[in-house]
Amino acid sequence: MSALKIELKEKIIEQLNLEDLSVAEISDSEPLFGEGLGLDSIDALELIVMLDKDYGIKLADPKEGRKIFESIDTMAAYIEANRS
Amino acid sequence: MKKSVYINSVGSISPQHTLDNTLFLEEVVNYNSSTLNVIAPNYKEFIPPAAARRMAKGIKMSTVSAKTVLNEAQIEESEVDAIIVGTGLGCIGDSEKFIKDIIDNDEQYLTPTRFIQSSHNTVAGQIALGMGCKGYNFTYVHSTISFESSLLDAKMQLEENEAQHILVGGVDELVDHHENTHRLIGHIKDTPTNSNSLLNSNTSGAVFAEGANFFLLSNSKTSSVYSELVALKTFNEIAKERVATLALKFLAGNNLEIEDIDLLIMGNNGDVNFDDYYSQLTESIFKHTPQAYYKHLSGEFDTASAFGFWLGNKILKHQNVPNAVQLNALKPKKLEIVLLYNQYRGENQSFVLLKRC
Amino acid sequence: MSQGVAITGIGIISAIGNNVAENFASLISEKIGISKISQIDTIHKNDIMVGEIAMQNKELEALLNLNSDAYSRTPMIGIIAAQEAITNAGISDINDCATGLISGTTVGGMDKTEQYFYDYFEGNSHWNHITGLSAGDSSKKIADYLGLKESFVTTISTACSSAANAIMQGAKMIKSGELDRVIVGGTDAMSKFTINGFKTLMIQSDTFNAPFDNNRKGLNLGEAAGYLVLESDKIIARDNKKVLAYIKGYGNANDAYHQTASSEQGDGAVLAMEKALKVAELSPESIDYVNAHGTATPNNDLSEGRALLRIFGDKVPEFSSTKAFTGHTLAAAGGIEAVFSVLALQNNIIYPNLNFKTPMIEFNLQPEIKLKQKELKTVLSNSFGFGGNCSTLIFSKEA
């Protein structure tokens, strides 16, 4: 599980061009959107592509992403449960 | 009564050291190449990382140019009434990457950022977003009159007092596929060309480049004022033998004669097949007028004429024609009125008249 | 000094017809142009519905007397619509006064660029399309075809409000006396680029788009071109012209909220409508019909609906979106909807907002769902785009 979380943080930094951030600076539980990391709706779409490409999980409705991408914890749990 | 329109400040990112407005081509960078890139500033000093992370090069260049413009005129972001950007190709680098992704990945796993950046108005939109400017926002994308179309729009609004301060800019990026395909069709010179000998190259094609040149246009002067924008006119095409006639007509429309022009600034790019459009003026009616050129410094791109506009403004403000841009041996007796002429491959011609303030 | 801006010609090609008459016939008989995609080979063909122009490229080439593969589809459909507008305006010599062309496009020659992207390096057979990627090249081709000489020709690209902005700038140039006549509008052909682009934004519907419906699933992309001929009072008097309608007001503002989405409360849209009303010197009550942007994306229709409520209060006039007929034709949308607005004024009708069933839960707004006869004096048309671009045009019967 924690390996997956580190992997997710690395991917988020790379995919979303957050080059000034390090893996250590992203906490597992803090919100990724709004207050926390400050991601926005375009980032959510980027993350949906990442789920599809890297974990074989397809989301049809972008609204589904809101709950899944709440934090690294929720993302990792969702991927563990649904990856193909 | 129409109001007068002034250029109050400038911001230029080019293949020369132009971003520092206290300098004026005291040092010129010479190139020996067929393409030129801009001398990039350290973008991090100007743009917060959170904002910069999704910005294409064209947006970064424009953002920094625009900030320079506002700083120099000491205008608050909230005082800008409108943003008008000219760009031949927009953030073409992202467009190319998105097409490549579509083809290479067979339309799968595509991400939105590149598509969003591909929209031609992304520069004007992102500047507005960054400044919180809810005013008029336009983007003109018509080859080598993209910038002049923006100037005309701004001028009309300022004259009618529909706006008081308008941010106007021209921006284009030089990127791979665009460069490589334009090499195929001979629009780029096939041999490296020295900046100093550009006009004597005797070869076809141009030295391609990129840049962002922004200006604050207002209907009142600030203390930083550069010049007054007297008039401009664009044409979809002018036959070679009609260039001089239309130049005279343009001058006459503004109650000016050949002798009133103190300096002619020409867009010669050293393309042996098309530079004779400029000779229609330089070697005939303006033979006895001091002349300048700039594309050996800026390179050629859709909004290179915005660099020419920058040059005209700097010359009028500094009252000095740098050696590096002199096209003929005539020295201006005074620098009050400057005429700019530009065209590309015989199309999209423009005349612009600037007056000293 | 300030002059009227008369519309003397209209031209259109879209998924519901190849000319004005066909488009109008479709609008009043509820004939929609949305179908599965047939002319572009895409892996998304089963996930999307689109509004394609029926004619294939080879038919367009034959009609325009062009060599095979000479032009991208964008300028070809642009020429057809612009030429129809010129003919409609009864113009025999296009250069008999200061005539300009202002055209909006987003994709330009993208259809050919994506097709030959790598082929260019294999051989020279498609090199004619290399310079066609430039958006301005499509306007140049239209201007050349129409025979414009030593003229003002430019291109506007402000995403989905491009044509509306072209019409606005043209109107201003007539008013200021810069031009006597100007052809204004926009053109955008379908491309893999936009299909995939909107796919990444997840706002394309897999079924018929349903503007302002609570269960709307997103937009259908369309392709179209629509142009108007605008002429000054001087030319109207000189040529004793019949005027179809007038451009009475226009407004452009920026939402400055998000790169692609509209703000929650429709700030930019409100500003654009306010400006247009001010230029027209009209009060909101005097607007008889609103041709909404209404793309059927969750975000647009909510934002635009709220903006309508902010402008019109509890007296929102009859409104509808015609995108259920044509799809969202991007840069051309403001052009074809201007043509529809002129036709609405001429015929005193309001078009149905097709596919609407359930009002949105956020507010009590109901578009017109049946063709309706009503004496119209003014029509307000909205066009919004990426980059926060919001534009409003007001058309009127009287100057």
Q: Which domains does chain B have, with CATH numbers?
A: 6-218 (3.40.47.10), 229-356 (3.40.47.10)
Residue of A nearest to C197 (CA): A45
Which residues from C are below 8 Å from B186, CB to CB? none
What is the spatial distance between Cα B326 and Cα B338, in angstroms, rounded to a whole number? 14
Band (pLDDT 50/70/90 cuts) for residue A1 is low
Asked, colleague to colleague, whether C6-239 and C249-396 share their fold, the answer is yes
Residue C2 has pLDDT above 80, yes or no: no
- pTM comes to 0.97
User: From the CA of A79, how many Å to the nearest CA of chain B?
Assistant: 17
Residue C10 has pLDDT above 90, yes or no: yes
Q: How many CB pairs under 8 A join A and C?
A: 12
B303 dihedral zone (left: phi>0; alpha: psi -120 to 50; beta): alpha
Which of the residues C202, C206, C207, C297 would you substitute to probe the A interface, choosing the one with the greatest number of A C-beta atoms within 10 Å?
C202
Span C263-292, average pLDDT:
97
Residue C235 has pLDDT above 50, yes or no: yes
pLDDT at site B340: 98
pLDDT at site C231: 98
Domain C6-239 indexed as CATH 2.120.10.10: no
pLDDT per residue as tens digits for the range C326-362: 999 999 999 999 999 999 999 999 999 999 999 999 9
Partners of chain C (3+ Cβ pairs below 8 A): A, B
Task: Quickly list DSSP for C12-60.
Answer: EEBTTBSSHHHHHHHHHTT---EE---SS--TTTTT--EE--SS-HHHH
The domain at C249-396 falls in which architecture? 3-Layer(aba) Sandwich (3.40)
Lowest mean pLDDT among A55-69, B243-257, C148-162, C238-252: A55-69
Which residues from B are below 8 Å from A19, CB to CB? 49, 53
The interface residues of chain B toward chain A in range 241-260, judged by CB-CB distance below 8 A, are none
What is the spatial distance between Cα C344 and Cα C318, in angstroms, rounded to a whole number? 12
Percent of chain C's residues with pLDDT above 90: 96
pLDDT at site C83: 98
H or E, element range at C320: strand C318-320
Active site annotation includes C258? no
β-partners of residue C148 are none
Active site annotation includes C97? no
pLDDT per residue as tens digits for the range C35-48: 999 999 999 999 99
Whole-number average pLDDT of chain C: 97
Span C83-105, average pLDDT:
98
User: How far is C-alpha C23 from the geometric centre of its chain's CA atoms?
Assistant: 13
Residue A4 has pLDDT above 80, yes or no: yes
pLDDT per residue as tens digits for the range C283-294: 999 999 999 999
Instruction: Look up the ipTM and state it.
Output: 0.98
- Judge: B113–A42 Cβ closer than 8 Å, yes or no: yes
pLDDT at site B26: 96
- Residues in chain B predicted with pLDDT less than 50, given as ranges, are none
The active-site residue out of C44, C129, C160, C390 is C160
pLDDT at site C1: 41
